[in-house]
Amino acid sequence: MSDALIVALKRQDPAAFEQLIAQHGAMLYRVALRLLGQPEEAEEVLQQTLLTVYEKICTFDARAALTTWLYRIVVNTARYSSGNPAISCCNTLRASWRRSASSGGRAHSATSRAWCPSSVKCGP
């Protein structure tokens, strides 16, 4: 990824965003589809991801890889999308288990797993 493209993205140049979509759109869609399992949901997450990129490109630190930054945005968008409660459910559980484990407590996994959808493998 050239520095010129990143500068153009930060200027919110429409041609730069077209280039970004051409270079990374398919990868972002595949990640969303893999996480969500439904093409319609993946398309919505891709749209939200691109909107987030447009709004937050000024926060991108060029010392990092743009693909890594894009990947984190699509993963976080998919995780917190309201259209997929299973992903949100497991993320909530994992966060709870991490908090419990880091504070020296014991996670209540049996109780917590009772409300987690059976189609999703949950665990710390």
Radius of gyration of the chain measured on its C-alpha atoms:
17
pLDDT (tens digit per residue) in 51-80: 999 999 999 988 889 999 999 999 999 998
Percentage of the chain modeled with pLDDT above 70:
65
Report whether CATH 3.60.20.10 matches the domain 3-79: no
Higher pLDDT, 67 or 113: 67
User: What is the pTM (predicted TM-score) of this model?
Assistant: 0.65
| 17 pLDDT above the threshold of 50 | yes
Residue 19, C-beta contacts closer than 8 angstroms, at least 6 positions apart: 5
How do the domains of the chain map onto residue ranges? 3-79, 85-114
Helix 14-36 to helix 3-10 angle (10° resolution) is 90
Q: Worst-scoring range by mean pLDDT, 1-15, 46-60, 77-91?
A: 77-91
Burial class (CB in 10 A: 0-12, 13-18, 19+), 6: middle
